[in-house]
Amino acid sequence: MNPKLIAIIKREYLQQIRTKAFWISTFLIPSIGLGMVFLQVAMSKTLVAKGKIGVVDLSGRLYDGLVAEYNKPTKDSTEKEKQPRLTQEKQKPPLATRMEFFKIEATKESLPGLRKKLNDDVQKEQIKAYIVLDENILENGVAEWRAQSVKADLVLRETVANLLSRVATKERLKDRGVDPEIYEKARMRIEIDPHEAKEVETESSKNAGFNLAVSGVFFFLIYISIFVYGAFIMRGVLEEKNNRIVEVLVSSVKPVHLMLGKIIGIGFVGLTQYAVWGVLASFMSLPAFAAMMGMADGVPSIPFLTIAAFVVFFLLGYFLYAALYAAVAAPFNTEQEAQQFVMVPAMILILASTTWFFAFNTPNGAVAVTLSFFPLTSPLLMFMRISVQPPPFWQIGVSIVLLLLAIWGMAWLAGRIYRVGILMYGKKPTVPEIFRWIREAD
């Protein structure tokens, strides 16, 4: 390779790597991601429904059942071993509850007299709430809830309502001569357990949930990286113009080499960031860490195809957009001036990022296939298709070839704009002027 180009790449890379912003973003982005995971785990473990709840059961039908239903071992803890892995993963963790029900002896006549004391207990927070089940509760289906606020404790109320509903159902069935055990058995839900239609399933199908999450994260990474590094390119181009060093540089190197060097250098910065994240991620897959995140069986490994597709499509997408950003920045003097034109690649990118749904839901549908061929959206869409359901190889090939052609075309166009633009100071150029540069730059 041209030694001057190497010098440009090296400078660009080292300068970026030495900035605080690089290291801050390198550690901040995964920290935020991890923080969110931990927050989720922590939230699922915190008590969402707790408190002492008094029950006035005027019907005399529900209290015992309620206590029994609440203390019944959950399905999760009893059936865990029997259940297939997949269903288990798809189930939401059971909500942590710590409720305490106690019976308030009362009759319809004595209740009004009792209310003052009960309300007091609620206001003094000796009890969380009390609940009144009238004689006709099984028919009218409404229980009175008395607490400090009618807005708070949404989950608690919902939990209690669910418990009561189940007990009431059993009672109603009992009235009609049905054994409550039959109800328990009858109400079991049917889960879908997805498998690949193959003699031997691929490893990845066993961790479908995890793999989808990984694909989502990678999709997001491609998207955000192109955004961030595109902005780096733009700022770098403007910086060289503002510093007035650019003319010194183009007296030594070809403008197109200067542009390429910048794009490749910053591309390496991106790969470095990914490498750091890869190392961090491999630490996180250690058993201790996995346990902390609530994955008792350890973190499953990511399929090779997903990683390969990620690297290839990140690089191709990055090069395409980087050239676009360089072209868009070159004619201008300040970020403000460039802003309205920078909106163009940014909007295309945002639109592309919203199309993940097509790849997710109907990976071989016409929309997903078309978008995974179109170069501005294909880096994101083709990656997603590959990780959801690998398309035929010819489609991947077409996508890559079209991207390479688009990169070549974009680099040619950007090179022409760049070549003229970097020497233009002062007045902000108009669009027709920029088109004239493209025609005349030789």
Partner 1 sequence: MEAAISLSGVTKTFGKFTAVSSLELTVPKGLTFGLLGPNGAGKTTTIRMIMNITKPDSGSIRVLGQEMNEELQQRIGYLPEERGLYRKMKVVDQLLFLAEIKGVDRDTAMRRLGPWLDSMDLRPWINKKTEELSKGMQQKVQFLGTIVHDPEILILDEPFSGLDPINVILIKDFLSEFKKQGKTIVFSTHVMEYAEKLCDRIALLYRSKKLLDGTVREIKNLYRDRVPLPPPVEPEPELEKIFIKAVEESGLTAPSPEELR
List contacts with partner 1 (CB under 8 A): 3-4, 7-8, 11, 14-15, 19, 239-240, 242-245, 247-254, 423, 425, 436, 442
Residue (23 or 357) nearer to partner 1, CB: 23
Residue (249 or 281) nearer to partner 1, CB: 249
- Which stretch of DSSP H or E encloses residue 133? strand 129-133
Residue (14 or 217) nearer to partner 1, CB: 14
- Which stretch of DSSP H or E encloses residue 380? helix 378-388
State how far the alpha carbon of 205 is from the alpha carbons of 18, 40, 69, in Å: 42, 25, 37
Strands (E), 367-432: none
Minimum distance of partner 1 from residue 230's CB (angstroms): 20
Reference 107, options 129, 128, 132; nearest CA is 132
b/e string for 222-236 if b means 16 or more Cβ within 10 A?
Answer: bbebbbebbbbbbeb
- DSSP letters, 48-110, are SEEEEEEEEESSSSSHHHHHHHHHSPPHHHHHTTTS-HHHHHHSPPPPPEEEEEEE----TTT
**Structure-block tokens of residue 140:** 């009218």
Residue (14 or 36) nearer to partner 1, CB: 14
Report the 10 Å Cβ neighbour count for 210: 16
Minimum distance of partner 1 from residue 217's CB (angstroms): 33
Minimum distance of partner 1 from residue 335's CB (angstroms): 16
Minimum distance of partner 1 from residue 435's CB (angstroms): 12
- The separation between the first and the last C-alpha atoms of the chain, rounded to the nearest angstrom, is 23
Minimum distance of partner 1 from residue 340's CB (angstroms): 23
Minimum distance of partner 1 from residue 319's CB (angstroms): 22
Minimum distance of partner 1 from residue 358's CB (angstroms): 43
Residue (108 or 436) nearer to partner 1, CB: 436
Note the Cα 25 to chain centre separation in Å: 18
For the chain, state the CA radius of gyration.
31
Residue (65 or 236) nearer to partner 1, CB: 236
Residue (71 or 251) nearer to partner 1, CB: 251
